[in-house]
Amino acid sequence: MIRVGLADDQQLFTAGLAMVIDSQSDLCVAWQARDGAEAVRAQQEDPAELVLMDVQMPGTDGLDATRTLVASGSRCRVIVLTTFDTDEYVVEGIEAGAAGFLLKSTPPEELLAALRTVHRGDSVISASSTRRLLQHVRPLLGGGSGPSSPPDRELRRASESLTLREREVLVAVARGSTNTEICDLLVLSMPTVKTHVGNVLAKTGSRDRVQAVLFAFRTGLVDREDLLRGP
């Protein structure tokens, strides 16, 4: 049974989420919290494997709570919940250690699939979601087609440590390609692709594919237009 924690100050929203999640044979809600501090306490007292974390909450917000959980070594994986028309902190949420993000308007069947995907160790990111993200956070990242500022020395060093093949794999990941699609694109076997992806995550210090996308953008391996085109 996959245990899920819910953190959102809108009780009707969390009640609805709980009904959807508890209706599944392999999922259950472990706890519900109304702010980030309460979520951190609940996770410490009754650990869940996944946490759906709203970003904008009174008191301790979802970003600080996510950072606290990640820094504490908690094994839970956090999925940021956001509404793009009011939320400008999606990128910061991912940088804080979230395994991905979901719109609050996500259909129930997609939300359930996302929970299972993250539980398997993957991230909630695809070509379409990457495009949505970049379209809405474009003002945060500057108006040009490339990164808003040059990568720092640490990022450059990490980028230079990648082999040519690893860079090709990273660019494909940033464009939203799945491992299977990368196999076809680069004519590689699945074990080889998985090895390259693992090396990319390790060398770039990325917890998952979501952070790898941000690394590729910040180091100039891909630009907005490249990402918006998708695979």
Domain range for 200? 147-229
Q: How far apart are CA 141 and CA 135, in angstroms?
A: 10
Q: Does 153 have pLDDT greater than 90?
A: no
The per-residue pLDDT for 126 is 45
Task: For residues 35 and 85, state if they share a domain.
Answer: yes
CATH of the domain at 33: 3.40.50.2300
- 49-84 pLDDT, tens digit per residue, is 999 999 889 999 998 999 999 889 888 999 988 775
What is the per-residue pLDDT for 138? 47
Give the Cα separation of 172 and 186 in Å (integer). 9
DSSP state string for 205-219 = T-SSHHHHHHHHHHT
Does 119 share its domain with 207?
no
pTM: 0.64
- Residue 74 placed within a domain: yes
> Which of 124, 157, 185 is the endpoint of a domain?
124
pLDDT one-digit tens code per residue, 75-133: 899 998 877 544 455 667 667 888 877 878 888 998 998 899 888 877 765 444 555 55
Asked if 120 and 157 sit in the same domain, the reply is: no
pLDDT band at residue 215 under the 50/70/90 scheme: confident
- Report d(CA 165, CA 193) in Å as an integer: 10
- Residue 131 domain-assigned (yes or no): no
Q: What is the pLDDT of residue 226?
A: 63
Is residue 180 located within the same domain as residue 91?
no
